Structure 1
Amino acid sequence: MSDWRADRVQQVRDLVRAAAPDAVEEVKWRKPSNPDGVPTFSCDGLLCTVETYKDKVKVTFARGASLDDPAHVFNASLDAGTRRAVDLREDDTLDADAFTALVSAAVAHNRA
């Protein structure tokens, strides 16, 4: 992948690392239809996954339903019982401060 989605995934990586320097990134679930796999970030438990689709990059927070989101960064999986997601399309602007606050909250939730 060498288009806008690669740039978006890198932006997400950078923000997660800034908010959670102790987080471990692993690539999981490699398969023929997705040879790059799915980046996952963990810190005392799973924080989030980053999936790439044709029209978006989806960042799914494993326990997002338990996190406060006053800036309304979550825009997908809003009815899920445990997870919440952020769908990022090519022209979307990601609020970096609000996103890193969610990552920090996810770390705190995992450590509680």
Structure 2
Amino acid sequence: MSDEDPSALIDAKIASLGDWRGATLAKLRALIREADPDVVETVKWRKPTNPGGVPTWEHAGVLCTGETYKDKVKLTFAKGAAIDDPARLFNASLDGNVRRAIDLFEGDGVDAAAFRALVRGAVEANLAKPARTKS
């Protein structure tokens, strides 16, 4: 387990991208923090093939992860299927019963108010039901 500051690791990941993906991830991160001032930033799944890991935002459990690929930035909401999405921001991982994702490609924008509402909905979903524990 690393004692590195997760927020600093996310800063480094954004800086290392050096292109539109970094700017997009930084904007989404700012919106997450605005929507939930109590959000906790973590970095999960660090390994040799992905030393920067996956930026993850938590509040009473995982809210969402921010993955970057060559052609997109993907925000996956852990309990996305339980969150109201009247603006229809979710455009990926729609077939599952639990997660939902937003894929953003170069030049894409996001409705800031609708995105903040999704984050608040994710917090509510996490607070509504305690996580099941393995026995």
**What percent identity do the matched residue pairs reach?**
61
The answer for the alignment partner of 1:80 in structure 2 is 96
1:30 and 1:90 map into 2 onto residues whose CA distance is: 25
Does residue 20 of the first structure (1) align with residue 36 of the second (2)?
yes
Name the SS of the counterpart of 1:94 in structure 2. Answer: coil
Report the alpha carbon displacement of residue 32 of structure 1 after superposing the two structures with TM.
2.1
Name the SS of the counterpart of 2:51 in structure 1. Answer: coil
Larger Rg: 2
Name the SS of the counterpart of 1:58 in structure 2. Answer: strand
1:55 to 71, 93, 96: 71
Please tell me the residue identity of whatever aligns with 2:30: D
Name the SS of the counterpart of 2:41 in structure 1. Answer: strand
Tell me: higher relative CO, structure 1 or 2? Use CA pairs within 8 A at least 6 residues apart. Answer: 1
1:1-112 matched pairs, under 5 angstroms: 1-112=17-128
2:20 and 2:46 map into 1 onto residues whose CA distance is: 21
State the 4+ residue runs in structure 1 displaced beyond 6 angstroms: none
Q: Structure 1, unaligned stretches of length 5 or more? A: none
The CA RMSD measured in Å over matched residues stands at 0.7
1:93 and 1:55 map into 2 onto residues whose CA distance is: 15
2:45 and 2:28 map into 1 onto residues whose CA distance is: 19
Name the SS of the counterpart of 2:90 in structure 1. Answer: coil
TM-score, with normalisation over the residues of structure 2? 0.81
2:36 and 2:87 map into 1 onto residues whose CA distance is: 19
TM-score, with normalisation over the residues of structure 1? 0.97
Paired residues, number = 112
